Structure 1
Amino acid sequence: MSSVQVLHVSHAVNTGLAHCVGDYVEYQAKHGVHVTVACPGGRLAALTGARGADVVTWRAARGPGPGMLAEAQQFRRIFEDIRPDVVHLHCAKAGLIGRAVLRGRVPTVFSPHAWSFQAVDGALRRLVLGWERHAMRWTDVVVCVSAAERDTGVAHGLRGRMEVLPNAVLPGAVEPIRARSRQEVRESLGVEPGVPVAVCTARLARQKGQDVLIDAWPAVRAAIPGARLVLVGDGVARPALEAAVEEVGAEGVHFTGPVDRSIALSWLYASDVVVCPSRWEGMSLVPLEAMALGRPVVVTAVDGMAESVPPGTGWIVPPEDPEALAGAVVTVLTDHEAARAAADAGRRRAALTIGDDSSARLLDLYGELLRGRRPPATVSS
């Protein structure tokens, strides 16, 4: 694979996707692949650039809008300049523009990182789903991060090759955190001794369900008056979430704002429970990271969570159910024996995901596609 050129493309740059793509890039670069990442900058550019990729700026907004024609034209220019052997598109916007421009002229891999049609309703949902079905003809393979994500695609009429490459925790991410004592980490973050702490680490957005957790929090505080809730990360929903805290009278809630990955992982390690209240996912990396750090987890029953958190390793509740969410968090914070047993089981489960198997399988998949395809074609205007 030493002569192969791979182009990764993403409009999302400051989410967990950055670490997923960063792991792919690092593995591919170490195995002689010439990797380029096209993105708007942010964490993804910094991370992949440090791990061996050439980074080019693709000025793409997160959602659809009037700038999409210019975004498509710039993508075409990037493709023509690089002339990659394989294009790997990440998330909905890159998947839309990349496949519409390339139309199967070069081996094309698409990773949805959670299906776009799950984020919308009504007529817009039908439109987005119709596009995804149509675009499968220009997709050599869809790479799903969980079997549930694949099954959701199949159930919604997507026909084509889909492979499951689960998210994984790399040792280099968690080992430096685990090398420190939890007491030391808690002190460094300003957590008082003996204070129960629930942590939610995610982009602040409707998808991640922090609003549901805020609705649930007064019931947690009623049962455990001194408990703290720490929302780690930043995002467009922060003003609405801060307003929700005031509206429901949720005390003991703290917003960290944007933090780097080591701080986010430190908050997971410092926690007494990690909460993932998502409305939809592909396969969240946070529960795996929390379990690798030996922390009990409460998650919602959405795609990928049951694979991350099998029976006995954590608590799974329905999405958008504040009462059930509060009940599970209170159980973890008060039933120390059950929490310890789940954390121990979760640590053993997470150990099975640590490594670069998915990165190796992805590189093999590129090779398989290239053996069956001609050299990259010029994309006509």
Structure 2
Amino acid sequence: MHVTSAPLPPHVLHVTQPVDGGVARVVADLVRMQRAAGMQVSVACPASGELPGRLAALGCEVLEWEASRAPGRQVPGECRRLARLVRRVRPQLIHAHSAKAGLVSRLVVRGRIPTVFQPHAWSFEAVGGLGARLALTWERRGARWASRLICVSGAEQRTGSSHGIEAPWRLVPNGVDLERFRPEGPAAEAGAGAGPLVVCVGRLCRQKGQDVLVEAWPDVLATVPGARLVLVGDGPDLDPLRAAAPPSVRFAGAVADPAPWYRAADLVVLPSRWEGIALAPLEAMACGKPVLLTDVDGARESLPPPLARRCLAPPDDPAALAGALTGLLRDADALRDLGRQAQGHVHAHHDVRRTAGAVTDVYRELLGLETSECREPIAT
């Protein structure tokens, strides 16, 4: 566990777009831990989404920064608005989260202020064709304006390196709040039915692959009659998913706290097409639940060996996903055992306090401050 006895950076400005989903939870957890450690923290983000309210409840200064998710003609205006905020706040360090904030922050600052960029999965994996080529070209050029580039998994770092992104890397795996995500506590009401309950928590979008899960589900029902599926979250793919889903699939919508859904589940699944390290599976495992993931960046690293052997499926493959789901759902004893092992793994390797301490050490390194005198190496 980190011991944060060294002097802390005087003022950090987090810049983020998006403001919901896993990135928002990572930012909120970092802000909470950093403020508790005595750091001065501000966050620039859009006014929409769940994040501004969570930050305000923490007593954090929230600076409204109008910005869209996608790049385009709006970028110059977003740069001007962020430049005004930087001049006003005068931070000693900037921590930019995800592709859009990383683009605008680095264009505005251009290395004049120590800048940490955390991609939370690579932008060039999210698009194809010309869009992917442009995104990769930017990431290669923009790396010169990142004082440190934080990756949440070794696989994410290797993907960047193999695509020619040259930067001073630091590996800091995602962590979760083990006091909030634990087996004890209320469970969601999953509705009628005695079959095993599968829960998928995530933004309803192409990245998270719920369309693959919906396509696979009839094959699961054919083998495990009575199995139930709940999709927890909201997003741009809600309507097409509803149209494609069998009547037995339930859409729970966005929730402020997913922990009750994890506790209610027999198995949590996330069929992503790309990730850094997804936060939802770590949260589910902290609640003592087994997970089934697609074998994308970070997935294998986030699992203990028994789950890595049994709980990975190839991405974008409905038949393989259905086979993996049915194999797990037919063995209730194995699911419970895998859940216990998953919880122990998260406690050992993905405590948010370790993550926050490692990020603070990156800040200290950049600002020439003394790092923690006693800390364990981050392991995955």
Structure 2 CA distance for aligned equivalents of residues 52 and 282 of structure 1: 29
Give CA-to-partner distance per residue, 1:177-227, whole Å, 9 cap, x none: x323xxx625xx243363321100000000000000000000011112211
Quote the residue 1:161 is aligned against: 168
Q: Distance in 2 between matches of 1:11 and 1:292?
A: 27
Q: CA deviation at 1:65?
A: 2.7
Residue 319 of structure 2 corresponds to 323
Aligned to 1:281: 275
How far, CA to CA, are the matches of 2:170 and 2:328 in structure 1?
A: 35
Q: Name which of 76, 82, 106 aligns with 1:75.
A: 82
8 A contact 2:173–2:355 mirrored in 1: yes
CA distance in 2, matches of 1:291, 1:147: 20
Q: 1:185 aligns with which of 187, 208, 212?
A: 187
In structure 1, distance between residues paired with 2:190 and 2:319: 29
Name the residue aligned to 1:65: 72
Read off the aligned partner of 1:16 and give its amino acid letter: G
Cα distance in 2, alignment partners of residues 280 and 171 from structure 1 = 25
Question: How far apart, in 2, do the equivalents of 1:190 and 1:124 lie?
Answer: 40
1:249-288 CA distance string (max 9 Å, x none): x231011112112xx1111110111111000000001111
Within 5 A, what are the aligned runs for 1:186-201? 186=188, 189-192=189-192, 194-201=194-201
Q: Which amino acid aligns with 1:347?
A: Q
The residue number in structure 1 matching 2:357 is 360
CA contact (8 A) 2:193 2:228 kept: no
What is aligned with 1:140?
Answer: 147
Give structure 1 stretches of 5+ with no counterpart: 373-381
Q: Output the amino acid matched with 1:362.
A: V
Shifted more, 108-117 versus 252-261: the winner is 252-261
For residue 152 of structure 2, what is the amino acid of its counterpart?
V
Alignment of 1:1-381 (within 5 A): 1=7, 4-41=10-47, 42-175=49-182, 178-180=183-185, 185-186=187-188, 189-192=189-192, 194-245=194-245, 250-261=246-257, 264-313=258-307, 314-352=310-348, 353-371=350-368
State how far apart, in whole Å, the 1-side matches of 2:27 and 2:154 are. Answer: 19
Conserved 8 A contact 1:215-1:322: yes
Report if the CA contact (8 A) 1:291-1:346 is conserved.
yes
- Verify the 8 A CA contact 1:26 1:52 in the aligned structure 2: no
Between 1 and 2, higher relative CO (CA 8 Å, sep ≥ 6) is seen in 2
Equivalent residue number for residue 4 of structure 2: none
Query: 8 Å contact 2:46–2:67 — kept in the other structure?
Result: yes
Query: Relative to 1, partners in 2 of residues 1:3 and 1:17: Cα closer, same or farther, differing over 3 Å?
Result: closer
Comparing 66-75 and 205-214, the one that deviates more = 66-75
Task: Return the letter of the residue paired with 1:179.
Answer: E
* 1:146–1:164 Cα contact (<8 Å) kept: yes
TM-score (norm 1): 0.91
Alignment: residue pair count: 359
Q: Does the 8 Å contact 1:3/1:32 carry over to 2?
A: no
- Distance across 2 between alignment mates of 1:286 and 1:179: 17
* Residues 286 and 218 (structure 1), Cα distance of their counterparts in 2 relative to 1, 3 Å cut: same
- Residues 193 and 185 of structure 1: is their aligned pair in 2 closer, same or farther, counting only changes over 3 Å? farther
Match of 1:376 in 2: none
CA contact (8 A) 2:14 2:42 kept: yes
8 Å Cα contact 2:174/2:352 also seen in 1: no
CA distance in 2, matches of 1:146, 1:66: 32
Residues in 2 aligned to 1:254 and 1:115: alpha-carbon distance in whole angstroms: 31
Contact 2:296 2:315 in 1 (8 A): yes
Give every structure 1 segment of 4 or more consecutive aligned residues whose post-TM-superposition deviation is greater than 4 Å.
none
In structure 2, do the counterparts of structure 1 residues 334 and 57 end up closer, same or farther at CA, with 3 Å as the change threshold? same
Secondary structure of residue in 1 paired with 2:198: strand
CA-atom RMSD in angstroms: 1.5
Aligned partners of 1:218 and 1:251 also within 8 Å: no
SS at match of 2:219: helix
Q: Quick one: structure 1 residues 339 and 202, their matched pair in 2 at CA, closer, same or farther if it must change by over 3 Å?
A: same
User: Is the 1:2–1:34 contact (alpha carbons within 8 Å) kept by the matching residues of 2?
Assistant: no
Task: Please tell me the residue identity of whatever aligns with 1:4.
Answer: P
In structure 1, C-alpha distance between the alignment counterparts of 2:196 and 2:121, rounded to whole Å: 32
Give the aligned partner of residue 372 of structure 2.
none
Q: Decide which structure has greater helix share.
A: 1
Cα distance in 2 between the residues matched to 1:219 and 1:51: 45
TM-score, length-scaled by structure 2: 0.91
Instruction: Assess, with a 3 A threshold, how the Cα gap between structure 1 residues 190 and 305 changes in structure 2: closer, same or farther.
Output: closer
